[in-house]
Structure 1
Amino acid sequence: MKTPINGNDLMALGYAQGEIIGIALKINRKRNGYTYEEMVSHYKNILETPENYIEDAVFSPLAIAIIEKANEKPEDLIVLNPNPKAYSLFGANHIEEGAKKQMDIAMQLPVTVAGALMPDAHQGYGLPIGGVLATNNAIIPYGVGVDIGCRMALSVYDIPETFYYENEAKFKRELIAHSRFGAGHGFQGQYKSDHAVLERGEFNENPFIKNLKDKAWSQLGSSGGGNHFVEFGILEFTQDDVVLNIPKGKYVALLTHSGSRGMGAMIAGHYTKLAKDNCKLPDQARNLAYLDLSSQLGQEYWIAMNLAGDYASACHEVIHTKMQKALGAAVLAKIENHHNFAWKEIWNGEEVIVHRKGATPAGKGVMGIIPGSMTAPGFLVRGKGEEEAINSASHGAGRQMSRTQAIKSITKTEMQTILRDHGVTLIGAGLDEAPMAYKDINTVMASQQDLVDVVAKFTPKMVRMADDGSRED
């Protein structure tokens, strides 16, 4: 087995945290036949004499980046605000320090107006997952995230709870037949679906977006890797809901979680690079590079982001339509809410761009779905419009273990035991998605009682996820 080289190894050689280390680690993943010791030696030499590696087939990207960084004038960098505004925290006691530090940096951007951190927050890239940031006429691609427009969609059927238990085999058959998962996975030929979103004119306005249309078509109606799922469960209303016109009771429901697939990921990568090229921020803030919405690039990204969001919604619509037809059920209500997106909203009397990365809109009366884990309950909620939270709420329970930690510390037996204890049938998924890797959803919900009202509780019963270790979240 190859001995891995990590960021700490590089920092021990004198590399500073930031983009340079990212380039070095990308080269290391290929290794190119070098031993650990040889790679370390090259990394040391490149740092000392990068000019000797400019023409090197393997290390030239790193050498050039080091030289460019050395020649970067301090006056070229955008200055961060030394006296940033404070931001609101909900559930601060169970939010990791890494997420708080990322939010501290985001609040120093000269375009920042306000911020908030949701109780499911944990460290990510750019904005932390669970971070909400309002900016002045600026859009941050990594403030939106890689999986643009990722969302939850819930269909409530006119099917009583008892029918599910009497027909579990049918539900399993339809779940397998009408869902597909994993990074890069999609449909071919006659199995492709159609949707009006593919006829949108935006696909023809930009050559980069136009080249993504075939990928979008093949992946329409599929779900990503990581924490994305399609699941059946029981939704319980403890009282009549007048707004949804659903009487008190327990109903079979379908809940899906996925986003804009490969299309969204490629848009995120493309415009993040352009933002970094055009918005020179200090190393600690590089992943928060932003685009002026009045600029051509800003408008390009805004249009692409909205198209990706609508495409993500279409993917859910295809899944839910297929499942409804297969079950022959009537839908009593359909609720959908998304995260990893940016909205134009009025906050404190001014128009701002609100980024919600792993956080969802919770304006007054706005419906949302906040899932727990594959064994923990989720909640159908109605927003209260709390301004301190910038009209937002959490998008789930949030991770308390990284994927690597979960794989190392959770056994298959432990995972199977908790699934059995909760009566959950699981199709796919790895140990990185084990219920124990997530925070306690009840603690998270208790921390946001001022943000949302609970309308109904969703109990997972049959869950399908990617089983190939892929991720797009």
Structure 2
Amino acid sequence: MKSNIITAKSLRAMGFPESPVIPVVLEAVKKHLKHTASADIEAQLKALLQAPENFYNDSVFATAAQKLKPPVEDTTTGGDISLNSTGISFAIYGASGIEAGAMHQMYTAAKLPVAVAGALMPDAHQGYGLPIGGVLATNNAVIPYGVGVDIGCRMCLSIFDIVPTELVQRENFFTRELLEATLFGSGAQFKQPANHAVMDSDVFDALPLLKSLKDRAWRQLGSSGSGNHFAEFGAVHIVDADTLPGVPAGTYIGLLTHSGSRALGANIAAHYTKLAKQLRRLPGDAANLAWLTLDEEAGAEYWMAMNLAGDYASACHHIIHAKVARQLGRRPLTMIENHHNFAWKETWNGQEVIVHRKGATPAAAGVLGIIPGSMTAPGYIVKGRGEMASVNSASHGAGRLMSRSKAMQNITHEAMKAELKKHGVKLLGGGLDEAPFAYKDIQAVMQEQTSLVDIIGSFQPKIVQMCGDAQRGWRRGPREKWHNDFVEGE
């Protein structure tokens, strides 16, 4: 049976609700019934639609059956919601280096009626909703601004069996490959888009919002955005060979990229944050923490859209890395990838919760990740220790010491050039807002989270590509602060 015989159109014709049921059914059919005759599938689907209660424990359609249940009345919908008088307790890592604004945001989030557990990472700084570096577990609720604007933003590292001295000896070659591998800039689009299976996802056609964004998403597939997003070559030093099979302890060339879901994620975030705020009006500083429950249509839609944006962000990285590997004529020894600005279903003290990691890295026991420094400071390849106090999380980088506007006001081009020369780094693009001085000391940040991760290797940047001031086209006027300070997309 062809996987496209059962389509969103045919499900609508049977009477299935547009959302969230149709995408769930399509996924179930694709995963479990790809070798089943279409007539048999249709018979099962009609039975499901007629009596969903008979399928609550079904191995194929249990999730869809739950979505067909009448919605549970939510007493917190459609009115003003008060915060709890006292918040849940949460661990703070590196408190002395965290600004007051980020602390205030985390304490506010801890008072949400849906909050279950939380933590604040040592790279934390103020953002919208949750602080960047904030981790929050909730009961059956997803907070669009707890995930962030740049949904699924991630790190991806390919390690190649090439000695790092080639980065100096063949600098022009590696520079050219970085420049040709991707595009930077918030509006950057390819004239000839790449192909990737993510663009065939049925979810694009199941939700009208995503359908309207699909064409632009395709043209931006494999691009890298602006702000703190980068693509860079550097020297990888592996100290714990047992963790990476096939990668002996030693020194290699690495390609490290950092970017997210581009306009797709930003539009999803804006749309569902607006809906969440309409459904749940929170007081003052908590307004951006409005949530959607997974039992309601908007919440189920957001969950599907968020996961699609995460898959899309991953595809962008894989396209970039495949281009570079092809030009190098080498397969990477391994690829390590982790993401932040996302929400996961996890178990916490025996309870299923939704864990938001906004600018925080998953660090469950044995989970690999990359924590970058700055364009001159080293990043670290890490293995999670599964620390419950941090909700199985770690920092996603060094964290900002200065806002973007403050960095541009206080850092000179001369100082930045001197710092790059001192560390032997060649910079392609990259503005003063991303200068090394704008970031916290990565060594101090790592020292604050020794209980959260083990270091198994390092990455020292050598050739760095970023967007740069001229490509950003920053706006001036009333929205200048938003655009400058949060252009990276939280």
Considering the TM-score relative to the shorter chain, is it more than 0.5?
yes
In 2, the alpha carbon distance for the partners of 1:287 and 1:323 equals 39
Give 3-state SS (helix, strand or coil) of 2:415's partner: helix
Aligned to 2:183: 180
In 1, the alpha carbon distance for the partners of 2:449 and 2:437 equals 21
In 2, the alpha carbon distance for the partners of 1:183 and 1:390 equals 32
Inter-CA distance 277–239: structure 2 relative to 1 (3 Å threshold): closer
Q: How does 1:201-220 map to 2 (within 5 A)?
A: 201-220=202-221
Residue type of the alignment partner of 2:180: A
In 2, the alpha carbon distance for the partners of 1:240 and 1:118 equals 27
In 1, the alpha carbon distance for the partners of 2:79 and 2:135 equals 28
In 2, the alpha carbon distance for the partners of 1:239 and 1:172 equals 29
CA contact (8 A) 1:139 1:293 kept: yes
Where in structure 1 do 4 or more consecutive aligned residues deviate above 6 Å? Answer: none
1:167 to 170, 173, 177: 170
Inter-CA distance 340–156: structure 2 relative to 1 (3 Å threshold): same
CA contact (8 A) 1:121 1:130 kept: yes
Q: How does 1:389-404 map to 2 (within 5 A)?
A: 389-404=390-405
Inter-CA distance 372–416: structure 2 relative to 1 (3 Å threshold): same
Aligned to 2:252: 251
How many angstroms does 1:472 deviate by?
Answer: 3.9
Aligned to 1:458: 459
Gaps of 5+ in 1: 1-74
1:151 to 154, 163, 175: 154
How many angstroms does 1:239 deviate by?
Answer: 4.5
Aligned to 2:3: none
In 1, the alpha carbon distance for the partners of 2:343 and 2:166 equals 40
Using the TM superposition, name which of 292-301 and 239-248 deviates more. Answer: 239-248
Aligned to 1:13: none
In 2, the alpha carbon distance for the partners of 1:239 and 1:314 equals 28
In 2, the alpha carbon distance for the partners of 1:76 and 1:241 equals 55
How many angstroms does 1:245 deviate by?
Answer: 2.6
Residue type of the alignment partner of 1:352: V
Aligned to 1:307: 308
Give 3-state SS (helix, strand or coil) of 1:323's partner: helix
In 2, the alpha carbon distance for the partners of 1:344 and 1:219 equals 29
Q: How does 1:58-457 map to 2 (within 5 A)?
A: 76-188=79-191, 191-457=192-458
How many angstroms does 1:85 deviate by?
Answer: 1.3
Give 3-state SS (helix, strand or coil) of 1:160's partner: coil
Give 3-state SS (helix, strand or coil) of 2:330's partner: coil
In 1, the alpha carbon distance for the partners of 2:204 and 2:216 equals 12
CA contact (8 A) 1:406 1:431 kept: yes
Gaps of 5+ in 2: 1-77, 475-486
How many angstroms does 1:162 deviate by?
Answer: 2.4
CA contact (8 A) 2:342 2:357 kept: yes
Inter-CA distance 186–195: structure 2 relative to 1 (3 Å threshold): same
In 2, the alpha carbon distance for the partners of 1:154 and 1:98 equals 32
CA contact (8 A) 1:261 1:472 kept: no
Aligned to 1:16: none
Residue type of the alignment partner of 2:407: A
Give 3-state SS (helix, strand or coil) of 1:115's partner: strand
How many angstroms does 1:220 deviate by?
Answer: 0.2
Inter-CA distance 151–323: structure 2 relative to 1 (3 Å threshold): same
How many angstroms does 1:242 deviate by?
Answer: 4.6
In 1, the alpha carbon distance for the partners of 2:395 and 2:154 equals 12
CA contact (8 A) 1:239 1:249 kept: no
Residue type of the alignment partner of 1:342: A
Aligned to 2:39: none
CA contact (8 A) 2:79 2:279 kept: no
Inter-CA distance 339–239: structure 2 relative to 1 (3 Å threshold): closer
Residue type of the alignment partner of 1:92: A
Kindly provide the CA deviation profile for residues 408-452 of structure 1, in whole angstroms up to 9, marking residues without a partner as x: 000000000000000000000110000000000000000000000
Kindly provide the CA deviation profile for residues 375-414 of structure 1, in whole angstroms up to 9, marking residues without a partner as x: 0000000000000000000000000000011000000000
Residue type of the alignment partner of 2:260: G
CA contact (8 A) 1:223 1:261 kept: yes
In 2, the alpha carbon distance for the partners of 1:110 and 1:401 equals 32
In 2, the alpha carbon distance for the partners of 1:92 and 1:248 equals 34
In 2, the alpha carbon distance for the partners of 1:243 and 1:426 equals 30
Q: How does 1:37-52 map to 2 (within 5 A)?
A: none
Residue type of the alignment partner of 1:154: L
Give 3-state SS (helix, strand or coil) of 2:424's partner: coil
Identical-pair percentage: 59
Residue type of the alignment partner of 1:78: I
Kindly provide the CA deviation profile for residues 231-272 of structure 1, in whole angstroms up to 9, marking residues without a partner as x: 000000134335433111110000000000001000000000
In 1, the alpha carbon distance for the partners of 2:243 and 2:345 equals 30
In 2, the alpha carbon distance for the partners of 1:166 and 1:241 equals 31
How many angstroms does 1:165 deviate by?
Answer: 2.2
Give 3-state SS (helix, strand or coil) of 2:281's partner: coil
Give the alignment's Cα RMSD to 1 decimal: 1.0
